[in-house]
Amino acid sequence: MRICIIGFGAIGHTLYKMIGEHVPAVLVAGVMDRADRQQEISAMLPGVAVLSDVDSLMALRPQLVIECAGHAVLTAAGPAVLRAGADLLVASVGALADRALETLLRDAAAQGGGKVRIPAGALGGLDVLGAARFAGLQSVTYTSNKAPLAWKGTPAEGMIDLDALTEASVFFSGDARTAALMFPQNANVAAATALAGLGFDRTVVHLRADPAAVGNRHRIQASGTFGEIDVTILGKTLPENPKTSMLAPYSLIRSLVNLTDTIVVA
């Protein structure tokens, strides 16, 4: 499979290093990032085209493009990828909380024939949550528990005194759409939960800052006529970015494996 990567930050770099080890059937034909980073990235990736615009990237004719660059770049480049007929594997899942962007991506996919693929990211249980949607799913709550440092540089700083916390405190409770749009670097899992289950407006989200946290704890609680779901994941963070769980790039690798292996556990 021939792929390209958009964004070569903490997730994109980690992903690239793992592809050769775990998915040898995949060829990375190109990487897209800012023009001022082209020389730096080219030195790290001999033989890989490093580009700064999506049209040049799509000229490499990838079958799949993996977005690891953030909401703004997904908005700017995602539709062009889909219109060109490639599938788009999205790391910045929270961006789909923007109704206009979701519509834009759906329309572009219909025009070009590509698909928007959503990885599970740092969370488990989305498969059973998706099954429960067809079996009488009635309520879904997602709770995120992270160290105060992980909420630095976000609206949380205006909601709670992150430096003065002595115990875990919830600073946001609301729907998944609001959470994903307010906390784009932290609430991608909330968005994936919403897309797998009841949607953005019917998924309840609680965000907590916890000075005793040793990683990022994600919990899904769901109920309905099918029964109950209660899934908790405690994941370590990427050393390069405390806002991102270590499992995030590995979830992208799993998505690639599922596209290339003969026997697939979906």
Cα separation, 126 vs 124, in Å, equals 6
What are the phi and psi torsion angles at 197 (to 5°)? Answer: -115, -110
Give the angle 235-237-238 at the CA atoms, nearest 5°.
135
Q: What is the dihedral of CA 236, 19, 1, 25, to 10 degrees?
A: -120
Q: Which residue has the tokens 């040898």?
A: 24
**Residue 218 a catalytic site member:** yes
- C-alpha distances (whole Å) from 115 to each of 74, 89, 112, 180, 207 are 14, 8, 9, 22, 30
Please tell me which residue in 22, 71, 206, 218 is annotated as part of the active site: 218
For 261, counting Cβ atoms within 10 Å of its Cβ (0-12 exposed, 13-18 middle, 19+ buried), the class is exposed
Cα separation, 139 vs 236, in Å, equals 28
What are the phi and psi torsion angles at 31 (to 5°)? Answer: -130, 135
Strands 49-51 and 64-67: unpaired
Strands (E), the chain: 2-6, 27-32, 49-51, 64-67, 87-90, 116-117, 137-146, 169-175, 203-209, 216-224, 227-235, 237-238, 241-245
Cα separation, 13 vs 5, in Å, equals 10
Q: Any idea which residues carry the catalytic annotation?
A: 218
